[in-house]
Structure 1
Amino acid sequence: MSDFLIVGGGVIGMMTALQLADAGRHVTLLERGECGREASWAGGGIVSPLYPWRYSAPISALSRYSEGAYPELSLRLLEETGIDPEYRQRGLLYLRVDDEPQALAWAREVGKPLERVGAETIYAKEPNVAPGVDSALWMPTLGSIRNPRLCKALRARLLAMPNVTLREHVEVEALDVSDGRLRSVRTSAGREAAERVVVCGGAWAGHLLAGIGVTLPVRPVRGQMILFKAPPGLVERVVLKDGRYVIPRGDGRVVAGSTLEEVGFDQRTTEVAKDSLYDSALSIVPALAECPVEHHWAGLRPGSPDGVPSIGAVPDIEGLWVNAGHYRNGLVLAPASTRLLVDQLLQRAPVVDPAPYRLDGV
């Protein structure tokens, strides 16, 4: 029997497994599909909340830690697996920011390099941005990561670790609880037992916990994205405008996103969204009109109130823990939120104050 059983093989589940395995624990990870193929794969990979000054202190605390963790994690995974997660720290241009004074005040308060720049700087950094932009905000330290490659590298690393058992295409159907303790996990392949179970099921976490009478305010929120097959150098940095963004990859491809849709567990793509994303991308970089759209996909974010995840022990059920509800910032917050949970599981001093993320009753 493993020391820990993790339900859900997204970036949260895989990073949790990695840290527990690094600490010498035996871990079993269950994933109903293939690891890293849901929201973790579908996102854009910006290593920051889109407009960080608009977020609450609990999200900012996790974000600050995670931003510093990604360069080292990316190098580690490249060295250990040969798969490059493509961490790029090229900065971000914010076009047309309505609350610019608040953004600059936030930056001064937290010590972030954020400045207002004019047209000369904008077009020196991104010559293909739409003409006529005379000012923007510029954050030079912002990074991005190619999340499908990150997921692939995490999966490869876990498969190579002798104290990790990774079981894909195994769906968790129910949690068995009696006398205030989690006894086992019922799956499509039979029962699994573990000393402690961690639910990292993303948008599906609330549904699973509802089966044992636990209310976790997590709901699916669909996001659609498109990918342009662009030549290298057309876009070099993340550019954000009116809540939509373009993100360059190392091979020149450009991701454009994203939508926010309350449609339950429907993961279908729509032509309406595709057209909207296409128009938004061209309003940022008109030259993308010359590039074919290579792919269009959708993922389900784990929506939660105010975007603050639930991290920690489940009240009144011994042996059950959760890390879910990151909404738009699962990849952004993953290194910190998983470190916080593992600190609690291993009874170490927590990397940030755990109180804001506790489930009700703990």
Structure 2
Amino acid sequence: MSEFLVVGGGVIGMMTTLQLADAGHSVTLLERGDCGREASWAGGGIVSPLYPWRYSAPISRLSTWSEGFYPELALRLLEETGIDPEYRQKGLLYLRVDDEAKAMAWAREVGKPLERVEADFLYAKEPQAAPGLSEALWMPTLGSIRNPRLVRAQRARLASMPRVTLREQCEVTGFEQAGGRIAAVRTASGPVSGEQVVVCGGAWAAGLLERVDVRLPVRPVKGQMILFKAPPGLVRRVVLMDGRYVIPRADGRVLAGSTLEECGFDTSTTSEARESLWQSAVSIIPALADCEVEHHWAGLRPGSPDGVPFIGRVPGVDNLSVNAGHYRNGLVLAPASTRLLVDQLLGREPIIDPAPYRLER
């Protein structure tokens, strides 16, 4: 029996497992499919909320801590696995921001570099950006990571760690309770035991906790994205306009996203979304009109009421914890939210106040 049993193998579950194993503990990770192939794979990889000044303080505290963690994590995983997560810190250009005063006030308050720049600066940084703009906002410290490579690297690292047991294609079907504790986790291939159980099930977390009569207000919210096959250098950095964005990769490919759709667990793609995403991308970078759309996909975000994740003990069950409900910012918040939970599990001083993230019964 492992000391910890983690349910859900997305970026949150894998990062939790890595931190617990780093601290010397045995961990079994259960994943219903393949690790990292749901929302963690489907997202864009921007290491910041899209418009960070529009979020509440609990989200800002997590994102600020997390942003500084990714360069170190990317280098570590490259060294340990040979897989490069492609962390790039090229900054972000915000075009047509209608609440600029709020953005600048937020930046001053949190000490984040953010400045208004003129057209000459904008087009020197991003020559193919939408023409005719007189100004933009520039955040030079923003980074992005190629999340499919991040999750591949994390999985490879966990698979090489002697304290970690990976069990993929292992769907959790319920929990066995005894004396106010989880005695075992039921799976299609039989029960699995752990001294402590952590649910990191993303959009599926609410359904899991329903089986112990706990209501978690987390729901699936679909997001569709497209990928352009573009020449290297066509787009140099993340550009955001009117709530949509383009994200360049090192090989030239450019992601464009994303939609927000309330349609349950449906992950089908639609021609309407593809056309809308294409139009948005071409309005940001007109030269993308000449590039092939190579891929179109959808993922399910774990939506929560205010976008604030639930992190901590599950009320009424002594050895059950949760880390879910990150909505649009799962990858952004993963380092801090997993560290915050692991601090609590191991009795360490938490990196930030855990109170805003507690699940109330």
- Determine if the TM-score, normalized by the shorter chain, exceeds 0.5: yes
Which region of structure 1 is more displaced relative to structure 2, 182-191 or 6-15? Answer: 182-191
| Helix, strand or coil at the partner of 2:195 | strand
Instruction: Name structure 2 gaps, 5 residues minimum.
Output: none
What is residue 256 of structure 2 aligned with on the other side?
A: 256
CA–CA distance in structure 2, aligned partners of residues 275 and 175 of structure 1: 44
State the secondary structure of the residue aligned to 1:305.
coil
The CA distance in 1 between the partners of 2:240 and 2:337, in whole Å, is 25
SS at match of 1:173: strand
Deviation of 1:19 after TM superposition, in Å, equals: 0.3
Q: Deviations over 1:127-179 (max 9, x none)?
A: 00011111110000000000000000000000000000001000001122233
Displacement of 1:241 in angstroms is: 0.4
Q: How does 1:207-222 map to 2 (within 5 A)?
A: 207-222=207-222
- Residue 191 (structure 2) pairs with residue 229 (structure 1): no
1:41 and 2:36 equivalent? no
Residue identity over aligned pairs, in percent, reads: 76
- Residue 318 of structure 1: how far off its partner (Å): 1.0
Match for residue 288 of structure 2? 288
CA distance in 2, matches of 1:135, 1:25: 52
Report the Cα distance in structure 2 between the residues aligned to 1:179 and 1:256, rounded to whole angstroms: 50
Residue 117 of structure 1: SS of its match in structure 2?
Answer: strand
Q: Per-residue displacement from partner, 1:217-265 (whole Å, max 9, x unpaired)? A: 1000000000000000000010000110000000000000000000000
Deviation of the 1:182 alpha carbon: 1.0
Between the aligned partners of 1:273 and 1:175, the Cα distance in structure 2 is 38
Distance 1:93 1:336 in 2: 25
In the alignment, the residues of structure 2 paired with residue 324 and residue 307 of structure 1 have an alpha-carbon distance, to the nearest angstrom, of 10
- Counterpart of 2:54, as a letter, is R
Letter in 1 for 2:47: V
Match for residue 52 of structure 2?
A: 52
**TM alignment of 1:113-192, pairs within 5 A:** 113-192=113-192
Q: Which amino acid aligns with 2:331?
A: L
1:353 alignment counterpart: 353
1:312 corresponds to which residue? 312
- 1-side partners of 2:213 and 2:256: how far apart? 39
- Aligned counterparts of 2:251 and 2:352: Cα–Cα separation in 1: 36
2:36 aligned counterpart, secondary structure: coil
Supply the distance in 2 between the matched residues of 1:178 and 1:222 (Cα, whole angstroms). Answer: 37
Q: How far apart in 1 are the matches of 2:217 and 2:168?
A: 26
Name the CA distance, whole Å, in 1 between partners of 2:253 and 2:211.
Answer: 42
Q: 2 CA distance for matches of 1:9 and 1:190?
A: 18
CA–CA distance in 1 between the matches of 2:265 and 2:132?
41
Question: After alignment, is 217-226 or 173-182 more displaced?
Answer: 173-182
Q: CA deviation at 1:52?
A: 0.2
Which residue number corresponds to residue 21 of structure 1?
Answer: 21
Question: Which ranges in structure 1 are unaligned for 5 or more consecutive residues?
Answer: none
Separation in structure 1 between the aligned mates of residue 89 and residue 323 of structure 2, nearest angstrom:
27
Aligned residue number for residue 271 of structure 1: 271
Q: Is residue 328 from structure 1 mapped to residue 334 from structure 2 by the alignment?
A: no
Write the distance in 1 (CA, Å) between the matches of 2:73 and 2:242. 31
Once the 2 structures are TM-superposed, how far is the Cα of residue 181 of structure 1 from its aligned partner? 1.1
Q: Secondary structure at the match of 1:349?
A: coil
Alignment coverage as a number of residue pairs: 361
User: What code does the residue aligned with 1:234 have?
Assistant: L
Secondary structure of the 1:307 match is: coil
Q: CA deviation at 1:211?
A: 1.7
The whole-number CA distance in structure 1 between the counterparts of 2:334 and 2:114 is 24
Q: Shift in Å at residue 44 of structure 1?
A: 0.3
Aligned amino acid, residue 207 of structure 1: G
> Per-residue CA shift, 1:324-358, capped at 9, x if unaligned?
00000000000000000000010000011100001
| Partner SS state of residue 12, structure 1 | helix
Alignment match, 1:197: 197
